[in-house]
Structure 1
Amino acid sequence: MKKVTLYIFLAAFFFGTMEISLKLAGNELEQFQLTFLRFMVGGLLLLPFAVSEIKRRQLRMDIKDYLYLLLLGIVCIPMSMLLFQLGVMRSNAATAALIMCVSPLFTMFFAHFIIHEKMKRKNVIALLISVTGILFMVNPFNMQEGNTVQGILMVLAGAALFGLYSVLGKISIKKI
């Protein structure tokens, strides 16, 4: 098996088990601690690769670029994942996973208004079908045991922030 294929399977496995792991770890650690630790460890692991890539490409970044990336790194991702973690603790892991999967819909929505990407008819139809499907799955009028409105709204807010991050990240990639 090629290394790339192995890495894809590992990433899919870890991402697919994230909600259950967060639910279990959330019983032992405070949600803020858990989110902080996740991103501190991830950031420290990725930092050498980022520094190496910046040097290799000889990227020139000014203070505004660093501040913009800092804003993305502090506001969008950690806040998104913190809301997700808080939502996971107040809902079923499966429900949280399902709702978090709508972040591409938020990306499409924000891209239309922020970077003026064209929203085609098929995008609007996909958006409506997805929202309808989520409503049927979550059923806010008769929620499954373990789900709360607060938890669902937190996960939705996390998905929205992640969608916003995707669009704002695209802007920074163009700049850099």
Structure 2
Amino acid sequence: MSKYKGYIFIFLTALCFSTQEISGKYLAMDKLNAYQINSVAFLIGATILLPFAISDMRKFHIKLKTKDWLYFLLLGVIQVSVGMSLLQEALVFTTPAIVAILVCSNAIMTVPLARIVNKEQFDPRSWIAIIIAAIGIIVIFNPFAGAAGKDAEQHLIGVTLALLGAISIALFNVLATKTIKKYGKAVTNSFSFYLGVLVMFIFMLIFHIPIIKGINGHSFALLVYVGVVVKGLGFFFFLGAMKETSAITATSVFYIKPILVPILMLLIMGEMITTNVLIGTIIIIIASLIIFQIKRINARQNSISAH
């Protein structure tokens, strides 16, 4: 029963996460800037995660030092201030499906980054997935289509921004490994969210970027939805998925999301994805599944050798 409960959590997590880009697209259509959207959404998300973080700190007697806060600040800038802002800005130029699939490809990007940054062991078989994923990204870029004009230019800008955002998220995942192992996901995410939002607020004040201006009833409801459902409930379900299955099995959320987003786009927005995006998505999902399988095999082998 516990196993099935874990799979239910995985699906619910994927469903919550899959609505992020669609909500972001509507917020972009409301003419809100990326910093407005992310600062409010992540502030709500950080506040929802705070009780979990405090509970973990009490349970495991965690005391944070100055260097820990500085590290959380770095993580917040990389993920919230830079990565998520790039992804939100990408939605101005391209579709939620493209942004979602490139975000999910960060699971592949973390492999070489973990080798470079954390000196983690690199499985040579991972090159297969990396090369396949690169082909998928090229197909989504569609550089050989010969298209010109405003739409083609916007597509390229959107894909480039989404790719840079995905790399930022992958870097966050790599750098956050040690704090997650030491303090847990709730502490790491809640405090890095708060500090990332703080940096955005300072940036917005310095450069006179609107913080509240332009937010109406419709956009406020969407911001609350993203904060509560995507950041809050999504994280809660993800923790449940990890608890009932395993950390590696729970990451299958990011292989389900690229399938769900186009379906939700069609149901909610009435939009179909183009053929090249569909093909690119399938290629990247295959690459992600290869990485997923390699991680499972290695985790199983490490578990056997530990005993």
TM-score (norm 1): 0.88
8 A contact 2:78–2:169 mirrored in 1: no
| Cα RMSD after superposing both structures | 2.2
Residue aligning to 2:25: 23
Alignment of 1:57-72 (within 5 A): 57-72=60-75
Residue 140 and residue 93 in structure 1: after superposition, are their counterparts in 2 closer, same or farther (change >3 A)?
A: farther
Moved more, 108-117 or 88-97: 88-97
What is the alpha-carbon distance in structure 2 between the residues aligned to residue 123 and residue 6 of structure 1?
29
2:198 — aligned with what? Answer: none
Q: Residue 180 of structure 2 corresponds to which residue in structure 1?
A: 173
Report the secondary structure of 2:111's partner residue. helix
- In the alignment, does 2:61 pair up with 1:53? no
Output one character per residue of 1:136-171: Cα deviation in whole Å (capped at 9) or x when no partner.
Answer: 233133269575222111111110010000110012
Q: Which residues in structure 2 correspond to 1:10-159 (within 5 Å)? A: 10-28=12-30, 29-142=32-145, 145=151, 147-159=154-166
Supply the distance in 2 between the matched residues of 1:4 and 1:98 (Cα, whole angstroms).
23
Gaps of 5+ in 1: none
In the other structure, the counterpart of 2:234 is none
Q: Which moved more, 1:17-26 or 1:155-164?
A: 17-26
Question: Which structure exhibits the higher relative contact order, with contacts defined as CA atoms closer than 8 Å and separated by 6 or more residues?
Answer: 2
Moved more, 2-11 or 85-94: 2-11
1:160 matched to 2:162? The reply is no
SS in structure 1 of the partner of residue 71 of structure 2: helix
Pair 5,125 (structure 1): closer, same or farther in 2 beyond 3 Å:
closer
Q: TM-score, normalised by structure 2?
A: 0.53
Q: Distance in 2 between matches of 1:6 and 1:129?
A: 30
Gaps in structure 2 of 5+ consecutive residues: 184-307
Runs of 4+ in 1 over 6 A off after TM superposition: none
Per the alignment, in what secondary structure is the counterpart of residue 121 of structure 1? Answer: coil
SS at 1:117 equivalent: coil
